[in-house]
Structure 1
Amino acid sequence: MASFQSRSRGNEVFSPAVFNFDHIEPHVQTHLKNVYSCLSIGMLTAALGAYTHFYTGLGQWYLMTTLASLGLMAWLATTRHSKETTSTRMGIFTGFTFLSGISLGPLLEAVIRVDPSIISTALAGTAVVFISFTLASLLSRNRTFLYMGGFLMSGLMWLTLMGFLNIFFGSRMIFDMYIYGILALFSCFVLYDTQLIVEKRRRGDDDFIWQSVDLFLDAIQIFRALLIILTNKEDNKKRRRD
């Protein structure tokens, strides 16, 4: 009997109450739906951009497409959010995500040469990480993750410096530290950015398009890091066999 009661209590962890978002106001929930709908469109257009790369060779213009995507992001940031500009800003956003997908082309080509299945594994891994950390953030009833902002920005600065210096050192150990650091850092950014979006909406900021940019960048960086990590592991396995 005691064992049965213990099992029953343990199963409460998987009860629907765990996914209860009643602590999030209705207008915030509606806003989150807009954000994630916009993010979904961005992911689809990025996938289309990556697909386009393989048939047009635009990935050869990696620097230009990267600069163009940054230019569109800057344009989006400086375009005032209003009902009248929503369609224009959505066009800018999809252009930015499309070019971001094209910029992934050279990396995807390198991955395919090692093992094409790595792409689907990295996509699945990105989805698991992103969804898990998003739920953890949304289910939290306090604003704990908002205090991570300073730590995350400091970590990003140090990782950027590490990546830059490794251009000259060419150390495999530093590169591994850098890429695993990127994976961990942007996973934590999902926690932070999700709670920040909720808090911004509570304070009246309903710019769902710009807020989806933050989440899009988080997801892309996680995906990129997983691609590199999995490709390196597979490449090392093939070298050992040879």
Structure 2
Amino acid sequence: MEAAASFFENRSTSWSYDSLKNFKKLSPYVQQHLRKVYMTVGGALLVSAVGVYVHMLLGIGGLLTGLGFIGASVWLASIPSSAAEEGKRLKLLGAAAFCQGASLGTLIEAVLNFDPSIVVTALLGSFVVFACFSGAALLARRREFLFLGGLLTSAVSTMMMLQFSSMLFGGASLMYMIEIYGGLLLFVGYVLFDTQIIIEKADRGDRDYVKHSLDLFVDFAGIFVRILLILTRNARGRERKEERRRARSTRY
């Protein structure tokens, strides 16, 4: 939990008040950098899909792949961005994406066995949400959403405190609802925030498109998981209602 809090806090402190007042249009360099970032995110998503497939074949997803994702991400962040290290950092991004996909494989496999259409709907919905809010950050005035950094960090801390409280005092059902719906709003906020942070860094000469791609990949994965859980929960609720309706009709 502390590692997760540190991860989110590090993402929300790389800006200053002066950047809030800078609303310049995107330069050609920044546009080129963003294209590179989004292409890399797309590649990471494909590798993640391979991770899901390999898990379904071999059952490799679990604690080790979760730790593998954290290890690869931390290792990537610790290596300075340079042309000499670009290949190594891309491999680490691919390893992180593969481990994330394998880790999600158990959930995705269970949903596929229940209703394959839910996975397709969740994936399409995630692309739509990600594209809309990332596009909103690109089209908005520069640095307009940087104020979200503090709010998002506070929201993460609050959710962790609530989770700890639920472990001590109960209320797991309520906490689950907060995690999936509140978590969805949280990651949507991070898409807005991270997109504008990437613009700010690129405008200042930061060419670390690999790290920027990892940030957006994490945001997309967080959105996908929560949309998948919400759709599955709603489908199971409808199924239970239908079963109760059939049971009542057979009685009379």
TM-score, normalised to structure 1's length? Answer: 0.87
RMSD of aligned residue pairs (Cα, Å): 1.4
What SS does the aligned partner of 2:77 have? helix
In structure 1, distance between residues paired with 2:153 and 2:166:
20
Structure 2 residue aligned with 1:239: 240
Residues paired across the two proteins, number: 219
CA deviation profile, 1:109-145 (whole Å, cap 9, x unmatched): 2212321111000001101100000110000123220
In structure 1, distance between residues paired with 2:213 and 2:156:
20
Structure 2 residue aligned with 1:220: 221
CA deviation profile, 1:163-217 (whole Å, cap 9, x unmatched): 3443452532231122100001100110000000000111111100001111000
The answer to whether the 8 A contact 1:197-1:211 is kept is: yes
| Change over 3 Å in CA distance of 1:233–1:134 after alignment to 2 | same
AA partner of residue 229 (structure 2):
I
In structure 2, distance between residues paired with 1:93 and 1:73:
7
- 1:41 CA displacement: 0.7
Structure 1 unaligned residues grouped into runs of 5+ = 1-21
Structure 1 residue aligned with 2:194: 193
In structure 2, distance between residues paired with 1:120 and 1:70:
27
In structure 2, distance between residues paired with 1:174 and 1:93:
31
Q: What does 1:122-201 correspond to in 2, within 5 Å?
A: 122-168=122-168, 169-201=170-202
| Change over 3 Å in CA distance of 1:113–1:40 after alignment to 2 | same
| Change over 3 Å in CA distance of 1:112–1:165 after alignment to 2 | farther
Structure 2 residue aligned with 1:6: none
What SS does the aligned partner of 1:58 have? coil
In structure 2, distance between residues paired with 1:160 and 1:212:
26
The answer to whether the 8 A contact 2:142-2:196 is kept is: no
In structure 1, distance between residues paired with 2:84 and 2:207:
14
Alignment partner of 1:55 is 2:57: yes
Structure 2 unaligned residues grouped into runs of 5+ = 1-23, 244-252
Q: 2:45 aligns with which of 43, 52, 75?
A: 43
The answer to whether the 8 A contact 2:25-2:142 is kept is: no
The answer to whether the 8 A contact 1:114-1:234 is kept is: no
In structure 1, distance between residues paired with 2:126 and 2:166:
26
CA deviation profile, 1:65-101 (whole Å, cap 9, x unmatched): 1001111111101111101111111011101100100
The answer to whether the 8 A contact 1:72-1:96 is kept is: yes
TM-score, normalised to structure 2's length? Answer: 0.84
